[in-house]
Structure 1
C-alpha cells in the first residue's frame, strides 16, 4: 500500500522494539516518564488529530506524535489517512493486526492507535479563563467512571475537569477510551491537593457543591429556584421570584441555598465511599440528587451527569 503516493513497508513483527515501546505506555510509570499516552480506535484518533491540527495551527504544542494503522482500517475509513496528512509532523505507519494488538491495551483496537502528548493544564491557567462550571473528581478510582465523567462534563459544556492527586490517572487506557474523544476537547487539571484546590476556587468566587446522596439540599429545589428567578427577572420582579423560590425550598432553608446559575464547581467522590465527612465539610453545600425509584444510590458518573446538566441548563438559560 502507498500513503500519499509513496509505497510503505508494513510493520509485521509484534515483538519489535518500536512495538514494545508503544505497548509500555499501558503502564503508568512509563506514561509519567515520557508524558505520552495511547489513544485507541477511530473516534479517539480522529479527535486527537483534530486537536493537533487546531493547536499547531495556532502556534501551540503538538498533541499527536505518531499514528499506527492497518491497511484494512484505512481502506474502510480513508478520511483518517487524510487527517494524518493534514497533521503537521505526524507520521503514519502501516502495521498488521498482530502488531496493533501487541501495541494496544484492548484485544481488538479497531485498527488504529495514536501516541499522544499529555494534555493537562495548570490550574492557574484554567482559573485565569474565568470558568463557570467545573467537575472535580475526589478519590475517584475507576478509570471507566473518570472517563465517563469527563465525557459528561464535555457534553454539558463545562470548562474543565479537575482530578485530585488521589484520583485515577486520566491517561489510563480504559479512562481514555471511556472519554470517547472528549479528552481532546476539555481542559484537564491533574494531581491537585484538595485543600489548596478548594481555596483557589473560592478565591475566584466559585461556589463549591458536593454531590452527596444524604445532602440536605435537593437538586430539584435548586432547579426550581433557578427557574423562578429567571421568570421573575424576565417579568422585572426579581424580589418576588426569590420569595417564590424561598417558599418552595424544603425545610425553610430559603435564600441560603446556592444558585445553580452562579459559577460552580461540583465535587464527586469515591465510588464506594463517596466524599468523606472532611471533604463534605469543605464544600459550601451538600446537594442530593433525588431518587424516585427503589435504587439505593446512583453511580458516580450518572450522578455527575445529572448535576452538571442541571448547572449547565441554569447557566445557559441565564445567558
Structure 2
C-alpha cells in the first residue's frame, strides 16, 4: 500500500464512474455504483457483477478479506466521496453491472412468494421493500410501471445488500407482471386499504404474489381489479393508514408465517 498513489477525483476512471449518478447514464451503460461494505459484499457474491472496487487506503486495509478477490482501485477520500451520496461514506464503492433478469426468468423459477411493486417512486421505500422481501424469504421482486430505478444510489443503499440476494425484474407494464404471476399459479393479492378481505383472515399458505402500489395514491382500480383478492391490513387505532414499507413488511411476514406453518 505504501507505494500506491491513490487516484484523485479528477482521474478519468473516477469521473466516468461519477456519471453513473444519472439514471440515463446507468441505463445506457447498464452499470451502477454499490456503496458500502454490505453492498460490495453482495455484489461480489454474484459472478461477473463487479467491474472494480474503489476504496480509500484505510478501507482497503479494513476490508482486506472482503476485497481479496476484487479488482481494487485505491482512491483518496475526496474521490471516494464524489462516488458516494452517503453523508458518511464507508470508504468502498463497487462499479457493477446491472443484475435484473427478464420477467419470465423470475416468475418461471416456481416462486412461492413474489413481490410486485407498481409505480413505487421513493428510493428509500423501494429499497426497504426489497430488504424486507429478502428478510421474509421472498423468491423475487418486480419493479413495475413508473417505479424508481432499482439502481438509484439511495435505493441500493437502503437494501443494505439485499438487492443482490434475490432475483429482480423490471417491467414497464404492471398488468403484464400480474398476469405472468397468475400464469405460474400464484395467487395475486393486492394490498389495498379498502380491500374486502382482512389480512389475518386471508389464506396465505399457497404460492402468493403481493401487489403493492404507489406511496401516495396506492393501486389504480384497473390494476387492483386484476388481482385475485384485495387484502386490507386492519387498522385498530386512529392512524389513517400505514406507509408502504411498513405495510409490505406486515403482509410479507404474514405470508412467510403462513407458508412455514
Give TM class, smaller chain: over 0.9
Query: Structure 2 CA distance, aligned partners of 1:192 and 1:310?
Result: 28
Query: 1:83 deviation in Å?
Result: 2.6
2:138 to 153, 158, 167: 158
Q: Unaligned regions of 5+ residues in structure 2, if any?
A: none
How big is the shift at 1:104?
Answer: 1.8
* Structure (1 or 2) with the greater helix fraction: 1
Question: What does residue 94 of structure 2 align with?
Answer: 114
Q: 2: distance between equivalents of 1:106 and 1:25?
A: 15
Equivalent position SS for 2:225: helix
3-state SS in 2 of match to 1:84: coil
Q: Given that residues 31 and 97 in structure 2 are in contact (C-alpha distance below 8 angstroms), is that contact kept between their aligned partners in structure 1?
A: yes
- Separation (CA, whole Å) in 1 of partners of 2:17 and 2:120: 27
SS at 1:25's partner residue? helix
TM-score, L = length of structure 2: 0.96
Measure the CA separation in 1 of the matches of 2:259 and 2:172: 26
Determine which structure has more spread, i.e. the larger CA radius of gyration.
1
| Alignment match, 1:139 | 119
Taking the TM superposition and a 5 Å limit, the aligned residue runs for 1:198-213 are 198-213=178-193
Query: Following superposition, which runs of at least 4 residues in structure 1 exceed 6 angstroms of deviation?
Result: none
The 2-side partners of 1:202 and 1:45 are apart by 35
- 1:312 is matched with 256
Conservation of the 8 A alpha-carbon contact between 1:166 and 1:191? no
Gaps of 5+ in 1: 57-61, 223-258
SS at the partner of 1:145? helix
- Structure 1 residue corresponding to 2:77, chosen from 92, 97, 106: 97
TM-score by length of 1: 0.79
What SS is found at the alignment partner of 2:171?
Answer: strand
For 1:71, the equivalent position in structure 2 comes to 57
Q: Distance in 1 between matches of 2:198 and 2:186?
A: 19
Tell me which of 70, 80, 85 is aligned to 2:68.
85
Alignment root-mean-square deviation, CA: 1.3
- After TM superposition, the structure 1 stretch with the greater mean CA deviation from structure 2, 212-221 or 170-179, is 212-221
- Separation in 2 of the partners of 1:268 and 1:129? 21
Higher alpha-carbon deviation: 108-117 or 177-186: 108-117
Equivalent position of 2:222 in the other structure: 278
